[in-house]
Chain A
Amino acid sequence: MASMGDTSPDVGRFARLQDQLAGYGFLAPWLIGFFVLTLGPAVASFYLSLTDYSGLNAPHWVGAENYLRIATDDERFWTAMNVTFTFVLLSVPLKLLFALGVAVALNKGLKGLSLFRAIFYLPSLVGGSVAIAVLWRQVFSGDGLLNQALNMLFGYEGPSWISNPSTSIYTLVLLAVWQFGSSMIIFLAGLRQIPKDMYEAASLDGASPARQFFKITLPLLTPVIFFNAVIITIDAFKAFTSAFIISDGTGGPIDSTLFYTLYLYQEAFTNFRFGYASALAWVLVVIIAFFTAMSFLSARYWVHYDD
């Protein structure tokens, strides 16, 4: 019957001081990291966004000039926004759908569950690497694997998917959705937590499997769906490697794969515009924060917590 649950036994005033020391002692690495690598840089980057810092010379104050430029005078910014949002709005729902669908299918207690689970999870694990991006580049190029297969199966001669500005982004979306495995595993865990007797009761009441899915499974799964949605979306905003490798660092063709992170990278490390890049970074932070806040607020209406 302790006061909070997470505590160590505490004896006397001197020992309590010892406890404080021990606590801060163990927390020290994290605290240092937090101030030096997170809080400090966050504040600094906000400051930098108000300068014209090039990374080489001293920063000069320019006020809101960077932000103004972003809003009014930067074509590429809007392109990057467009590309990133397209990517997010396509890959997130698709990934959720596949993850949920496959999880539901696997949850029926089929033989070979662990094998399937492993197979679907593997792409998640390797998908973020350069090797896979390289592979993707080949597969979707003019004479790549996909076109070879299409030719073989349907006699269809496909274009170079990655060199075509109107299709390049979709190859990236596909790569992201290919990695639905980790979300699937989280869904599987969530499905397992739903008590079987609910389904049995529903069966006795004559509910069809489809009805059971929509009336039992889905509502009870909303916390997990919410969790997955937030995580997948944040990851989507952070995507970088695939776009970089497939477009060779350019974001091309014609900026059609210019992920926001890639644009930021170019401005900072290719064009040496640290100040401007910082402003870009903060715009993204605000957007992600807004999205997260909206999700949490909306959660009240559709996420069903039964505790």
Chain B
Amino acid sequence: MNRYLLRRLALALITLWGVVTFVFLLLHLIPGDPVETMLGEGAKPAEIAAMRKSLGLDLPMLTQYGHYWRNLATGDLGTSFRTGESVLKTLRQSYPATLKLTLSSMLAGILVSVPLGVLAARRHGSGVDAAITSISLLGISIPHFVLGPLLIIALAITWPLLPVSGMGTSDHLVLPTITLATALAAILIRMVRASMINELDRPYVITARAKGLSGRRVTYLHAMKNGLMPVVTILGLQFGGLLAGAIITETIFSWQGIGRLMIQAIQSRDYPLIQSCILAISVTYIFSNFLTDLIYSLLDPRVRY
């Protein structure tokens, strides 16, 4: 392993530690006595004491912190207040749905943005370029919770082509994917365009053209390999945006993923479940970022400084 990757790994581990500590401290952010808040008014002192003991809140802070790490290491994320089930089990049921939604959105975003971005770069300064750039600006500005309901109104109510919400068939995946992928596609279009314009100006492109290669061949075979490199980095960063967007998108479309699970947990003040949802989403993001760095260092040997 090279120095670049070691540094990235170190950062990922520090971030992981930071996130776990933050999530641990969340319980202590609750105003007043967390146990009284959890049990609500009218709880008997004995109940409060029992609850405090079961959560380990009667121990010194540092001991609690140590226990928290120990439990994490053994995969014990606590039990849900609402259902009484193990949090880990609940997470395992919702996690694949979120992964499916985010990955399909990422795929859709790439499939739409790369051709459009390259096209805009090739026709740099033309009407086509202006049209694509404007549409992408619109895509960046439209929030998920506006686009989602508008899509439902248009494609599920006015023209009933697709299901309004829920999960099951692949039809159910379409509207949430469009909702989540739009902002990503819009950002990627701008990135691909800027990067390709830069690349198409390079001397090697002019040489290839002078050799008699067709513009298309130079664009897609030569320039694209280099031009899409920065996009890989952005993809990793944007994955966080997708995960955050999934929280809202899942709520709109009743998609039984981790985002919706978290919002439901917040509504019912199911604190252990909220903590674990935040942890799961953050860890996924940290992991995907590290994966991006790994892929990037494989693609571009120059970063292995």
- Mutual binders A and B: no
- Residues in B lying within 8 Å of A, measured CB to CB: none
- Residues in A lying within 8 Å of B, measured CB to CB: none
